[in-house]
A and B are shown apart, each in its own frame.
Chain A
Amino acid sequence: MRNRALTDLVLAGPAALVVILFIFLPVAVVFVLAFTDYQVGARSANWIGIENFATLFGSRQGRNALLNTVVYAGIVIPASVGLGLLVAMGLHRLTDILPRLSAVLRTVYFLPVAATLVAMAVSWQMLLHPSLGLINTWMSVLGLAPQQWLSDRGLVLYTLAAIGIWQSVGYNMVLFLAGLATIPTALYDAAAVDGADRGWSRFWTVTWPMLGPTTLFVVIVTAVNAFRVFETVATMTKGGPAFASDTIVYALYREGFVYFKAGYASAITVVFFLALLLLTALQIMLVERRVHYR
């Protein structure tokens, strides 16, 4: 028995140690730092209680970053999940008719996921350039007014959201395609015999409920990624113009790595961490109740 215990320790120990050392410990440190005014490189720090949190929720800049993130996620999550499902259903049906084309389109939709977002941001910056960009050229061809996609304060967040959707649809599509492939065809036959033979009734009777577990997963992953939006902000707008595209993770980066305010950055991290944890738990609780039938 002692031998067994020793074996267990040898097998699970090192990984557990690494996790504790490099994940749990730093998280604990961050939690402590969040209540101090520590600056990177400083010799000492003062305990300031919840002042950092008060700044985040109390200042206009802090609230602006929070609100921007919520708006961004509020657009990206439903759009990306919805489009991913739509594209997956289209391609799933196309597989029967034109398997080659379906495979090619699958790759096309998945490319943005596989590509490095930072590199893609450069292309997007060129496409969105106010005078030289292809998008404004098309806009004028269509008779629409050209837009300052990345420097208009009212528009920039939506531009970033569109790029966020473009980037994540392919991933959601792949997950939905896998989900669609597991639906037994007999269920569609049963639905056809029962009178739910096409369109919405077929979708509501079979496809949507059977995709429940997939949808739960897709929504959680998309939500977490949307709340974590950073690369496009950092490379294309730096949170500007005038903080119009400032998001919580970008603010965290700026406070921590540009202004070296480790205490404040830690507070943002704590809030972000707890918010995501709560959100994920809530989603699982809410949706699990409806999809738990396997």
Chain B
Amino acid sequence: MTARLSLDGVTKRFGTTEAVRNVSLTLHDGEFMALLGASGCGKSTTLRLLAGLEAPSAGRVLLNGRDVTRDSAAARNIALMFQSYALYPHLTVFQNIALPLRMRGLSAVQRLPGTALVSPVVRKRQAQIKAQVSQVAEMLRLGDLLARKPGQLSGGQQQRVALARALVREPSAFLLDEPLSNLDTQLRADTRDEIRALHRRTGYPFLLVTHDQSDALSMADRIAVMIAGEIVQVGSPKEIFHRPQSIAVAEFIGHHRINLLPPGPAGRLHPAGTRLWIGIRPEDLRLSPEGALAATVESRAFHGEETILKLRDDAGTALRIVLRGGETLPNPGDTVRLAANPAALHGFGADGRREDIPA
């Protein structure tokens, strides 16, 4: 795989605050990558640095191996879909999609109204633009909406227009800023599939910026996890989920927050626990009379397909366990014993880094 777009040791400071610290990140040809982080972690700044909307304070931006750090957003030809879609409200859907082509293909004079009447060059170019717009509109099922203004469209339709506008000019990379955050649950699932399909069909490298781990895990080939302005781990969704490289990643990923047992008490779950932190996901813990860990149930919450128990072990550590199916549920106040599959345990050193432990 060849690198398409990359950041090389990029730092971005706003005043005295470092929004992005020494980030290196590579988006390869044809891959679908997700940049995952909590809000305010610097992922949107990273996206803007890649797109050319911000200039880095230090470091380089590379496109196809060429240094484009000083190039404008337009010169980089990177498509960007905004969270708010940022459609031009005064232009029709057709004009919105055609705008990037017009800016690129026609000079300022040629863009003046009426030039098509006098210049065959402009006429030819406009016909090409029309064909390109029709093609991408067809692909995104916008054919019937081309004459509408964005204000007359639903949220999902607006999003497809934003996608079309980004894709129409055959970009060198496609960056999507929180594309699903403005959609309701049903539309979200459909749009996930649609964006995946679009990636397969177009073959452009996609970078999805999101705070939603299920979006990242379900859509991306690779995930870069960003915490407090730094990339802390890059890997496949499975790697990120099953082998978090640090406590921070382990705590960030997972629908339910991971349980962490401090060195010492953790020894009851695994021999290495005498000197390491041991992490175990709530869904990997189970009730078992022979379990090594004793804990008292503090509260119980029924969530339909699953029940979440909050417990406290005898060393005072808060634990969470997710139960699915028909076990007889203990009541608050009961003391239960917990067991875990050794393969599901994560060991972390005192510095928070992962240390592999034998199963």
| A pairs with B | yes
Bound-state Cα–Cα, A189 to B151, Å: 20
* Distance from A198 Cβ to chain B, minimum over Cβ atoms (Å): 8
Given A196-B103, A197-B74, A201-B103, CB of A190 within 8 Å of CB of B86: yes
Q: Determine which of A195, A212, A293 lies in contact with B149 in the assembled complex, contact meaning CB atoms within 8 Å.
A: A293
Q: Determine which of A184, A197, A209, A290 lies in contact with B72 in the assembled complex, contact meaning CB atoms within 8 Å.
A: A197
Within 8 A of A (CB), among B154-206: 165
* Distance from A86 Cβ to chain B, minimum over Cβ atoms (Å): 20
Bound-state Cα–Cα, A184 to B84, Å: 10
Bound-state Cα–Cα, A253 to B86, Å: 53
Q: Determine which of B72, B86, B149 lies in contact with A187 in the assembled complex, contact meaning CB atoms within 8 Å.
A: B86
Bound-state Cα–Cα, A187 to B100, Å: 13
Within 8 A of B (CB), among A192-208: 192-197, 200-201, 205-206
Interface: A12 (CB within 8 A): no
Given A193-B51, A201-B108, A294-B151, CB of A209 within 8 Å of CB of B74: no
Q: Is there an interface contact between B89 and A195, defined as CB atoms closer than 8 Å?
A: no
Q: Which 8 A-B pairs have the closest CB atoms?
A: A195-B103, A190-B86, A186-B86, A195-B74, A194-B100, A209-B90, A192-B73, A193-B80
* Distance from B272 Cβ to chain A, minimum over Cβ atoms (Å): 49
Contact with A along B48-63 (1 / 0, CB 8 A): 1001110000000000
Dominant SS among interface residues on chain A? helix
Q: Is there an interface contact between B53 and A194, defined as CB atoms closer than 8 Å?
A: no
Q: Determine which of A189, A195, A209, A291 lies in contact with B100 in the assembled complex, contact meaning CB atoms within 8 Å.
A: A195
Q: Determine which of B86, B90, B99 lies in contact with A189 in the assembled complex, contact meaning CB atoms within 8 Å.
A: B86
Q: Is there an interface contact between A212 and B108, defined as CB atoms closer than 8 Å?
A: no
Which residues of B lie under 8 Å from residue A189 when comparing CB positions? 48, 53, 73, 80, 82, 86
Give the size category of B's interface with A. 20 to 34
Q: Is there an interface contact between A205 and B99, defined as CB atoms closer than 8 Å?
A: yes
Q: Is there an interface contact between B104 and A195, defined as CB atoms closer than 8 Å?
A: yes
Given A193-B53, A194-B165, A294-B89, CB of A186 within 8 Å of CB of B103: no
Q: Is there an interface contact between A293 and B90, defined as CB atoms closer than 8 Å?
A: yes
Q: Is there an interface contact between B89 and A293, defined as CB atoms closer than 8 Å?
A: yes
Contacts A190-B86, A193-B78, A209-B89 known; 19 new A-B pairs at CB < 8 A: A184-B84, A184-B86, A186-B82, A189-B80, A190-B80, A190-B87, A193-B52, A193-B79, A194-B74, A194-B103, A194-B165, A195-B74, A201-B103, A205-B99, A209-B91, A210-B90, A293-B151, A294-B89, A294-B151
Task: Look across to chain A and name the residue whose beta carbon is closest to the beta carbon of B51.
Answer: A193
Which residues of B lie under 8 Å from residue A201 when comparing CB positions? 103, 108
Contact with B along A75-114 (1 / 0, CB 8 A): 0000000000000000000000000000000000000000
